[in-house]
Amino acid sequence: MRSRVAAVVTKPETVIEDYRRLMDLVGAVDGLDRQNDTLIKLNLSWTKYFPACSSQPWQVEGVVKALLDYGFDRKKLIPIENKTVVTNPREGAQNNLWYPILENYGLDFVPLTEVEWIVYNFKEPLLKLNDIFPEGIEIPKMFVGRQIIHLPTIKTHGHSTTTGAIKNAFGGLLKEVRHYAHKYIHEVLVDLVLMQKELHPKVLAVMDGTVCGDGAGPRTMIPRPGNVILASFDSVAIDAVAAGIMGFDPLSIPYLGMCHERKLGVADRREIDLVGDDIAGMNLHFQTKRSLVIWGDQMLRKGPLQFMEKIALHSPLVVWAPLASNFYHDILWYPTVGRKIINKFLKTDWGELFTSYQTKYPAAEK
């Protein structure tokens, strides 16, 4: 079994056209059904803008423009994103410039907090989610039978080593209490692949690596230029290629290894056909680190503080966790360390491109 991943080396001056070339290489026009509704699952890892953290504005514009150029009905294109205990989808859509871009192309953003959720009984046996949610797994009703395009970025993650197309489903298919799944994150990511195979007739991932996130992802990272964009109908394969770009052996990452063993996708790069530009030797030498918040979460779920897990994370007292996370990320880290990183980023070519979007859409957060 072989899978195909398309790759394009890009630059700010041509990135929108390069996204069209990427979509051509992956066969999006033939691989997707223009008669079916298409969910566009954005990636919001922070309500605030931080480079490499969430779907980039040029990523959103490039994919949407390509789909419309192909003749997809804009009424059938549905951009969506959910909330977490530390994100707000509407504020995030504004700060990350999604709102004005989508409005410019005549698309409406749909927060998953405002749609109907149903308990869905999956036919395929799942590894962990049925145990984590014995009362039933709730999913957005609108997901059933619709094809989906994921728009992740290339970055590390303190819980899962890397995050990409598969992890992006974590924020769509599970409700806000999905943090319960952090203890078994790798098994849960396998479950998400199984769930999507049952729900969606087509799953396409279009990943932005123009700026990649190194270190304590998915928020408190060091942005590194990658100048590459990826696409594939195999979420496992694209995550494996992204892992290799970051400097990891994909098969050593548990969720990718398990997916490969179960033939849910291809994680062995020797069995992946790379088409487009040659990125086979690309290695950014990233290292996954844990932010203070993720370190504390893991101490409670897997470390010496496990005896406090139920009362701290699975009781009404859990309200402390999002408050602590917001205090650390938004009040302590972002205005100090984060702001210095952003100011440095804005002096780069990709930072200047982001500034041009801010100038075009001045209502966004500065």
The structural domains of the chain, with segments of one domain joined by +, span 3-290
Q: Is the pLDDT of residue 214 over 70?
A: yes
Q: Is the pLDDT of residue 287 over 50?
A: yes
pLDDT tens, residue by residue, 295-312: 666 776 677 877 766 765
**At CA 44, angle to CA 127 and CA 171, rounded to 5?**
20
Please name the residue that has the structure tokens 């700060």: 95
CA 245 to chain CA mean position, Å: 16
Q: How many Å is the maximal CA-CA distance in the chain? A: 56
Instruction: Name the nearest CA neighbour of 321 among 340, 297, 345.
Output: 297
- Quote the pLDDT of residue 137: 92
**What CA–CA distance (Å, rounded) separates 85 from 8?**
35
Across 135-139, 246-250, 307-311, least confident range: 307-311
List, in sequence order, every residue forming a beta bridge with 150; answer none if it has no partner.
41, 205
What's the token pair of residue 62? 């490039």
Q: What is the mean pLDDT of the chain?
A: 92
Confidence of residue 34 (pLDDT cuts 50, 70, 90): very high
3-290: what CATH class?
alpha beta
- Quote the pLDDT of residue 366: 41
179, HSE (Cβ side, Cα atoms, 13 Å): 24
